[in-house]
């Protein structure tokens, strides 16, 4: 059921991205997760109580990167949609900086991870919620990176060794996926 919801959401995002037109002079800044987190707790119109995400309530503190940061490019071009590199081996404490190069919007969403690591992985993924460009698609998902050179960094500090499969939700059907092996 969760997969069906992700596929439906990805389809809606892909259609919205195709209809976007895009401004060639658009800013290439990194999403501001601090402002988005503040916006997530701002009361909606009508004075209703603010809402918070379940991820924020259960994730605990994030663990900062203490080792090397690896760069992964997010690409969509005539060769297809892909992460470069798609398979990465790193150590506990390392991190990955994902960069939207072309063919966005892209995100990084983890769909399998070793048992007992979901809460820490969620905490290590800067949170952003809301609707529209930049919104997260799921609990273990980055915000959408809509402009070229937008980046998103994930820490693998405090996580168990094992395999962490990830994908780009809007382009999963096109085979945009990869795997992190944490040693």
Task: Name the percent of the chain lying above pLDDT 70.
Answer: 62
d(CA 155, CA 172): 22
- Whether 43 is covered by a domain: the verdict is no
- CA–CA separation, 57 and 177 (whole Å): 28
Tokens representing 81? 């949609």
CATH number of the domain enclosing 119: 2.60.40.420
Cβ–Cβ < 8 Å for 144, 133: yes
Q: How far apart are CA 72 and CA 70, in angstroms?
A: 7
Q: How many domains does the chain have?
A: 1
Asked if residue 153 is part of any domain, the answer here is yes
Range of the domain at 66: 2-18+60-182
Residue 144 lies in a domain: yes
Mean pLDDT of the residues in the chain = 75
Name the least confident of 56-60, 75-79, 111-115. 56-60
Asked if residue 150 has pLDDT above 80, the reply is yes
Q: What is the pLDDT of residues 95-112, one digit of tens each?
A: 999 999 999 999 999 999
- Please indicate, yes or no, if residue 52 is contained in any of the structural domains: no
d(CA 149, CA 68): 20
User: CA 100, 9, 101: angle at the middle one, nearest 5?
Assistant: 10
Question: What's the pLDDT band for 29 if we cut at 50, 70, 90?
Answer: very low
CB-facing half-sphere around the CA of 80: CA atoms within 13 A: 10
Residue 170 belongs to some domain of the structure: yes
| Rounded-to-integer distance, Cα 155 and Cα 31, Å | 17
35, part of any domain: no
């Amino acid at each position: 059921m969760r997969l069906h919801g992700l596929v439906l959401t990805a389809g809606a995002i892909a259609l919205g991205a195709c209809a976007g037109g895009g401004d060639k002079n658009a800013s290439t800044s990194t999403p501001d997760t601090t402002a988005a987190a503040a916006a997530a707790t701002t009361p909606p119109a009508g004075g209703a109580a603010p809402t918070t995400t379940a991820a924020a309530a259960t994730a605990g503190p994030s663990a900062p990167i203490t080792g090397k940061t690896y760069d992964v490019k997010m690409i969509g071009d005539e060769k297809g949609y892909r992460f470069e590199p798609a398979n990465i081996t790193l150590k506990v404490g390392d991190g990955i900086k994902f960069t939207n190069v072309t063919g966005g919007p892209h995100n990084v969403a983890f769909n399998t991870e070793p048992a007992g690591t979901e809460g820490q992985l969620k905490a290590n993924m800067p949170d952003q919620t809301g609707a529209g460009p930049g919104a997260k698609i799921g609990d273990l998902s980055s915000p959408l990176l809509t402009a070229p050179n937008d980046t998103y960094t994930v820490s693998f500090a405090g996580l168990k060794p094992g395999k962490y499969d990830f994908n780009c939700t809007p382009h999963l059907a096109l085979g945009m996926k990869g795997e992190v092996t944490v040693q």
